[in-house]
Amino acid sequence: MNDFEIVKKLLIEDRSIRRFDASKKIGADTLKELVELTRYCASGRNLQPLKYRIVNDKEECEAVFPALKWAGYLSDWDGPIDTERPVAYLVQCLDTRLTGNLLCDDGIQLQAITLGARALGIGGCIIKSFNVEIIKQSLQLEDYYKPIYVLALGYPVEKVIIEDMSGKPDADVKYYRSPDEIHHVPKRPLSELLIQTPFAKHEE
């Protein structure tokens, strides 16, 4: 397998995981290694203004969990049960002492972390919908740290598969969970991602 195929395989496997094995912990050293990956990411103006609060202490994990909102498309699901909750979090924060505009750094760094986690057999879920004040208070964050995302982490206990939307013009983009508890994620085909114009020529 060449380098391109390795990257593609990791991207295909790097799905949002929302149910974890709560009995399998993730050590602080592993979390630090994942954060270290962000050092090698591109950064707007090279400011590198994002910082991470590591959370893997049981009490802190319990304090963070109520602040999170899970899977907007799964309206009848309130989130993972006790035995399937994340065992660690990385809270991505903007250090406003450096800048008020993080440009595109947040997504670039989160993808780097989740790919690294996937390579270690760890699953993650990038969460944007959360109670900022609960996060700041429970983790005692200074006022100049602005929480941007919460990345939930753990070892997966659910299966997530990609559904190709090719040839399905009426297909819905909403992810869903089938009766067998498999999580399905529809993805548009390559042909829908390429902009075709009279002057655009693509070799086959």
Domain ranges of the chain: 12-157, 161-193
Its sign, for the CA torsion 59, 61, 64, 66, is: negative
Low-confidence stretches of the chain (pLDDT beneath 50): none
Which residues are within 8 A (CB) of 93 and not within 5 positions of it... i.e. 6 or more apart?
50, 51, 52, 53, 141, 145, 146, 147, 148
pLDDT tens sequence across 72-95? 999 999 999 999 999 999 999 999
**What pLDDT, on a 0 to 100 scale, did the predictor assign at position 18?**
98
Residue 28 three-state SS:
helix
Tell if the pTM clears 0.85, that is, is over it: yes
The pairing of beta strand 50-55 with beta strand 88-95: antiparallel
User: If you average pLDDT over every residue of the chain, what do you get?
Assistant: 96
CATH topology of 12-157 equal to that of 161-193? no
The architecture (CATH level 2) of 161-193 comes to Single Sheet (2.20)
**What pLDDT, on a 0 to 100 scale, did the predictor assign at position 170?**
84
Label each residue of 72-90 as H, E or C.
Answer: CCCCCCCCCCHHHCCCEEE
**What pLDDT, on a 0 to 100 scale, did the predictor assign at position 202?**
61
Tell me the C-alpha distance between 149 and 106, whole Å. Answer: 8
The pairing of beta strand 183-187 with beta strand 160-164: parallel
The architecture (CATH level 2) of 12-157 comes to 3-Layer(aba) Sandwich (3.40)
Q: What residues form DSSP beta bridges with 51?
A: 93
Distances 76 to 72, 100, 116 between C-alpha atoms, Å: 9, 37, 31
